[in-house]
Structures are given as structure tokens and as C-alpha cells.
């Protein structure tokens, strides 16, 4: 079996979090097939032990079933990334300079509260002591500007990068800041993709522990472009308990699996409504998110009720997560999600 053949086979192994494969990243350093033993040597620079583990498993999954290979040995040299570079940068992929971790907030369907979750999660992460940025990637319905009550227009620096707006201790960037009025931007297809890419690359984020990406709803080209342009460390899927939303949440999970972005968990939003008389109503059905998380084998990070204050504070530009958690259950829920994410993707 020729090394070229093995190399071709290894093109099916993707670098976790990227759509690119380990061969094109230049990680495969040596391939030998001698005396019935196939030895593949890889070199990876990463601080994340899960990356070599995953690549090891994926290499075996591809190589073991090949006919006539005999014993397969995958050897991985793990090196310390240089100069604080992330795995993605060392592997030759575009990370955002200065940004340690990127977490994408996604939903298959619009209107389920994805932006509300992204905004509150960003606030909760910042309150936990992290340096946080929030980027609203939705060209068609930007909402971060509204949710942070920020109508400052971002300036450019001397390198022609956009300086993010700051509010409530977070760095914010949104298409909303760049629009003249409230009319939707009319960009379609490839142009939208290019626009989004440029948008993500040209923001001077500075040093951040976490950049939260509020993805546009859906699982189309724009979403794929974003998760392939940037080294996304993990995705949080937001859904309501309603079957219609769950179907689309499943699609979102499948999309991230395709590009090897780990799913950090599911958030069931609008899970119920507690009326003033103590009655609980499951307006969108009961427990859909809980069942779906179990069925898809992803963690359920939170169940957030329908809460008038969450909506009001979103509209007023002061996200509910700014309230001390002891005084508001939704703020407490976001504090807990932030804590869980900090453990799953430590900065």
C-alpha cells in the first residue's frame, strides 16, 4: 500500500473545529508501511488534549478498515503552540488574533431567542471575570445594538479595522452598528458570505477570553461559512420545546457535526410561563428540549422560562443577566450556563 494512497485516505480526517483535513494542514509528517505495520506520524501544536485524541480516533476509523494494511499505528507528537498561538493558527487556519475562544450560538429556526441567549450569555461570561466580545453575525436581522442599547457608531483604527463598541463591559460588533437606518441590508448569496467573512476579520477585538458569535438563524451557506472561517471552539444550540423548532435544532446539530465543531449543549428557551397566580403553562409543549438533548446525546445547559422581564430588559438594552443572579432566576440560569461553558472551553 503506497504512502500516497494512505495520504489520500487521511484527507478524510478533519482537524476538529475545521472543515479542512489534517493532510492539507500539513500535520502528516511520515507514513511508513513495513512488515505488515502501517505507521503514520503526525505533529500537532495544541494545548487542548482533546484535539490529538479526536484525530487519533478519526485516523484509526479511516485506516483500520483499509484492506491489507495490517496493524495500524498512529503516532502523534503534540507540541506546545508557539507565542500563544491557538491550535488553529499553528495548523495554518485563521483564528482571530487575540481571541482565545470562540463560541457560536446557533438555532435552526428564527425567533426562538437565540440573540437573547447570546447577549445574556456574553454578559454572564463577562460577569464571571472573563474578557468577552459579542459579534452579531446576522446581516438580515441584527439585534445586538438594540439589546445593548448602544447606538454609537464604531470607528476605524489606523489599520482600517473596525473598533468594537463597548457596553456593559463587553466589546460589541453588529451589522446594526453599520446600518444607516432600520432597513434590512440587501446582500445575497456569495456576497453575503464574503461580507460576513470580511466583517469577522476586520474587527479589532483586542485580547478576549471569549468571543460569542450570534449566528444568523438557519443552517445554510452563511452559517457554514462562518464556522469554517473562524476557529469555532464549540456551539450552543437554542431551541424552544416546540417540535417545529426541534426539527431545525437537529439540523443545526448535524451541520456542526459535519464541520467537526463540538456541540457544547442545548438551551431550551421559552420552556414554560409561570403566571402571577402560581400556575405554570407549557405554551410550546413540555420538555421538548430535554428529550431532544437526550436523543441527540448533547448536554442540556439550561431551561429558560418565558419571562416578561427578559424581553423587556432585552428591548431596553439592559440584558436580564445584568441583574444579580440571586434576584432573578433567568440571570441565575445564565450564570450557571456561563460557568459550565468556562469549564468545557477554558480560556
Residue closer to ligand ADP, measured from CB, 20 or 114: 114
Residue 165: all three cell numbers together:
463598541
In angstroms, the Cα distances linking 262 to 7, 314, 344 are 25, 28, 10
Among positions 111-130, residues that touch ligand ADP (CB under 6 A) are 111-116
Count residues binding ligand ADP (CB under 6 A): 18
| Segments in the chain forming alpha helices (H) | 3-10, 50-63, 87-90, 114-127, 144-147, 175-178, 189-201, 221-229, 243-258, 288-296, 308-316, 329-344
Q: Three-class SS of residue 279?
A: coil
Residue number, nearest CB to ligand ADP: 113
Residue closer to ligand ADP, measured from CB, 138 or 209: 138
Compute the least distance from the CB of residue 118 to ligand ADP, in Å. 7
Compute the least distance from the CB of residue 173 to ligand ADP, in Å. 16
Residue closer to ligand ADP, measured from CB, 258 or 311: 311
- State the Cα–Cα distance between residues 153 and 142, nearest whole angstrom: 14
- State the Cα–Cα distance between residues 144 and 131, nearest whole angstrom: 18
Cα-Cα-Cα-Cα dihedral sign, residues 250, 253, 257, 262:
negative
Residue closer to ligand ADP, measured from CB, 40 or 139: 139
Residue 56: all three cell numbers together:
487519533
Compute the least distance from the CB of residue 238 to ligand ADP, in Å. 6
Closest by alpha carbon to 172, among 344, 317, 269, 309? 317
Compute the least distance from the CB of residue 321 to ligand ADP, in Å. 12
Residue closer to ligand ADP, measured from CB, 93 or 328: 328
Among positions 184-243, residues that touch ligand ADP (CB under 6 A) are 217
Residue closer to ligand ADP, measured from CB, 88 or 133: 133
Compute the least distance from the CB of residue 115 to ligand ADP, in Å. 3
Compute the least distance from the CB of residue 141 to ligand ADP, in Å. 7
Compute the least distance from the CB of residue 195 to ligand ADP, in Å. 19
Residue closer to ligand ADP, measured from CB, 9 or 270: 270
Residue closer to ligand ADP, measured from CB, 17 or 305: 305
Closest by alpha carbon to 338, among 164, 209, 205? 209
Answer for which of 95, 143, 150, 239 binds ligand ADP (CB under 6 A) is 143
Among positions 292-331, residues that touch ligand ADP (CB under 6 A) are 304, 306-307, 310-311, 314
Residue closer to ligand ADP, measured from CB, 31 or 227: 227
35: how many CB neighbours lie within 10 A of its CB? 7
Q: Looking at the DSSP assignment, which residues form a beta bridge with residue 37?
A: 34, 71
88 near ligand ADP (CB under 6 A) = no
110 near ligand ADP (CB under 6 A) = yes
Q: Looking at the DSSP assignment, which residues form a beta bridge with residue 172?
A: 134, 165
Which residue do the cell numbers 499553528 mark? 90
Residue 174: all three cell numbers together:
453588529
Residue 281: all three cell numbers together:
403553562
In angstroms, the Cα distances linking 222 to 155, 173, 255, 319 are 25, 17, 12, 27
17 near ligand ADP (CB under 6 A) = no
Among positions 250-279, residues that touch ligand ADP (CB under 6 A) are 269-270
Residues of this chain that bind ligand ADP (CB under 6 A): 107, 110-116, 143, 217, 269-270, 304, 306-307, 310-311, 314
Amino acid at each position: 500500500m503506497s504512502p500516497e494512497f494512505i495520504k489520500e485516505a487521511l484527507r478524510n480526517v478533519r482537524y476538529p473545529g475545521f472543515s479542512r483535513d489534517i493532510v492539507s494542514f500539513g500535520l502528516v509528517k511520515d507514513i511508513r508501511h513495513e512488515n505488515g505495520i502501517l505507521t503514520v506520524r503526525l505533529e500537532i501544536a495544541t494545548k487542548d488534549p482533546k484535539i490529538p485524541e479526536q484525530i487519533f480516533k478519526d485516523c484509526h476509523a479511516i485506516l483500520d478498515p483499509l484492506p491489507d494494511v495490517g496493524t495500524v499505528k498512529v503516532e502523534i507528537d503534540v507540541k506546545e503552540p508557539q507565542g500563544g498561538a491557538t491550535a488553529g493558527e499553528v495548523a495554518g487556519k485563521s483564528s482571530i488574533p487575540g481571541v482565545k475562544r470562540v463560541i457560536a450560538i446557533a438555532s435552526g429556526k428564527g425567533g426562538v431567542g437565540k440573540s437573547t441567549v447570546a447577549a445574556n450569555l456574553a454578559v454572564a461570561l463577562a460577569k464571571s471575570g472573563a474578557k468577552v466580545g459579542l459579534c452579531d453575525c446576522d446581516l438580515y436581522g441584527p439585534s445586538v445594538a438594540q439589546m445593548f442599547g448602544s447606538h454609537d457608531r464604531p470607528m476605524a483604527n489606523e489599520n482600517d479595522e473596525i473598533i468594537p463598541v463597548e457596553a456593559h463591559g463587553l466589546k460589541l460588533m453588529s451589522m446594526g452598528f453599520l446600518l444607516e437606518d432600520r432597513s434590512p441590508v440587501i446582500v445575497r448569496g456569495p456576497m453575503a458570505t464574503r461580507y460576513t467573512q470580511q466583517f469577522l476579520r476586520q474587527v479589532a477585538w483586542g485580547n478576549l477570553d471569549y468571543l460569542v458569535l450570534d449566528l444568523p438563524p438557519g443552517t445554510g451557506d452563511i452559517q457554514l461559512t462562518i464556522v469554517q472561517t473562524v476557529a469555532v471552539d464549540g456551539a450552543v444550540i437554542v431551541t424552544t420545546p416546540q417540535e417545529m423548532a426541534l426539527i431545525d435544532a437537529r439540523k443545526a446539530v448535524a451541520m456542526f457535526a459535519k464541520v467537526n465543531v463540538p456541540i457544547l449543549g442545548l438551551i431550551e428557551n421559552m420552556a414554560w410561563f409561570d403566571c402571577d397566580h402560581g400556575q405554570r403553562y407549557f405554551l410550546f409543549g413540555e420538555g421538548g428540549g430535554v428529550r431532544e438533548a437526550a436523543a441527540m446525546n448533547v448536554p442540556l445547559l439550561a431551561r429558560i422560562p418565558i419571562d416578561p422581564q427578559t424581553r423587556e430588559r432585552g428591548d431596553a438594552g439592559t440584558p436580564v443577566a445584568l441583574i444579580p443572579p440571586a434576584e432573578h432566576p433567568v440571570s441565575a440560569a445564565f450564570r450557571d450556563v456561563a460557568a459550565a461553558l468556562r469549564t468545557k472551553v477554558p480560556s
